[in-house]
């Protein structure tokens, strides 16, 4: 009697492991959206700061005389208005001085506007050197300047005005071999708690014209000997 051979049992197959190495877990959709929002906010803030800087630059340019790099009429009147408001609140005092160059037009006519610009630059530099850091010098337009001076008595303000006149009278320029002087006439208005910026400007301007008449400058260029 033959025995039937039973086939050997094969070992059961173990499940194959296929680990994914260095796999990147997907970012939750909500986290990605939050990151994008934050990046957008940072970008908008950066653009806003750049726009604010540009606005400040444009405002400063609008208040500045492009030739002399001092406040123009708009900028000076703004400073004067602020100063008067401060004086009213804190009962401070000061002086407004308006200065008119006496012979700028004949200098322009005889030697050109480049010569006139040189005169204006020298006058602006002269005035700036003689004021304090808290004071303001501006160009109202053409050949007219204005100065805002803090904490001056009437006597001190008039003495300062005379010093400005003298300093500008002593300036001398050489154009086409000729020595030329310009000169200036100055008017003063005192500032205090009762002041109004518009009226103060009118008073200083009127005083300047009275002073100009008293100096009796001839409408021509005065030459100094070579």
d(CA 132, CA 33): 57
Q: Read off the pLDDT of residues 100-158 as tens digits, 9 standing for 90 and up.
A: 999 999 999 999 999 999 999 999 999 999 999 999 999 999 999 999 999 999 999 99
pLDDT at 215 over 90: no
- Residues composing the chain: 226
Least confident stretch, 48-52, 78-82, 121-125, 181-185: 48-52
Mean pLDDT of 88-108: 96
Rounded to whole angstroms, the Cα distance separating 40 from 46 reads: 10
What does DSSP assign to residue 112?
Answer: -
Share of the chain above pLDDT 90, in %: 66
Distances (CA, A) of 217 to 38, 60, 221: 69, 36, 10
Q: How confident is the model at residue 19 (pLDDT cuts 50, 70, 90)?
A: low
Instruction: Please return the burial class of 98, using the count of CB atoms within 10 Å of its CB with bins 0-12, 13-18 and 19+.
Output: buried
Using the predicted structure, report yes or no on whether residue 207 has a pLDDT greater than 50: yes
pLDDT score for 46: 80
pLDDT tier for residue 6 given thresholds of 50, 70 and 90: low
- pLDDT reading at 225 higher than 50: no
Q: What angle do CA 140, 126, 180 make, to 5 degrees?
A: 90
B/e letters for 77-86, b = 16+ CB within 10 Å, e = fewer, are: bebbeebbee
Whole-number mean pLDDT of the chain? 85
Provide the 8-state DSSP code for 131.
S
Strand partners, 99: 145, 186
At 226 the pLDDT is 40
Task: State the burial class of residue 19 (Cβ atoms within 10 Å of its Cβ: 0-12, 13-18, 19+).
Answer: exposed
Report the alpha-carbon distance of residue 104 to residue 142 in Å, rounded: 9
- Return d(Cα 192, Cα 178) in angstroms, integer: 45
Interval 3-32 mean pLDDT: 56
- CA distances to 32, 68, 75, 106, 167 from 141, rounded to whole Å, are 59, 11, 12, 17, 20
Beta bridge partners of 150: 94
Name the one residue in this structure whose structure tokens are 């100063």.
Answer: 83
Mean local confidence (pLDDT), 166-188: 95
Predicted TM-score of the model (pTM): 0.73
Q: From CA 61, how far away is CA 56, in angstroms rounded? A: 9
pLDDT digits (tens, 9 = 90+) for 142-164: 999 999 999 999 999 999 999 99
Of 203, 174, 80, 182, which is closest to residue 126 (Cα–Cα)?
182
* Mean pLDDT along residues 87-91: 96
Q: Which of 100, 71, 90 is nearest to 151 (CA)?
A: 90
pLDDT at 164: 97
């Amino acid at each position: 009697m033959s025995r039937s051979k039973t086939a050997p049992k094969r070992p059961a197959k173990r499940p194959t492991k296929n680990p994914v190495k260095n796999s990147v877990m997907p970012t939750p959709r909500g986290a990605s959206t939050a990151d994008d929002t934050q990046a957008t906010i940072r970008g908008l803030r950066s653009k806003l700061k750049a726009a604010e800087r540009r606005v400040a630059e444009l405002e400063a340019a609008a208040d500045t005389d492009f030739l002399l790099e001092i406040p123009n009429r708009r900028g000076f009147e703004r400073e004067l208005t602020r100063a008067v408001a401060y004086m009213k609140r804190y009962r401070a005092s000061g002086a407004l001085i308006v200065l008119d160059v006496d012979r700028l037009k004949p200098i322009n006519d005889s030697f050109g506007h480049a010569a006139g610009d040189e005169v204006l630059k020298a006058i602006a530099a002269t005035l700036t050197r003689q004021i304090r850091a808290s004071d303001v010098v501006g160009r109202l337009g053409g050949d007219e300047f204005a100065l805002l001076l803090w904490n001056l008595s009437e006597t001190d303000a008039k003495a300062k005005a005379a010093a400005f006149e003298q300093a500008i009278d002593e300036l001398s320029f050489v154009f086409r071999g000729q020595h030329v002087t310009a000169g200036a006439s100055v008017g003063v208005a005192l500032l205090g708690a009762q002041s109004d910026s518009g009226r103060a400007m009118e008073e200083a301007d009127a005083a300047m014209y009275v002073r100009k008449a008293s100096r009796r400058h001839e409408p021509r260029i005065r030459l100094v000997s070579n």
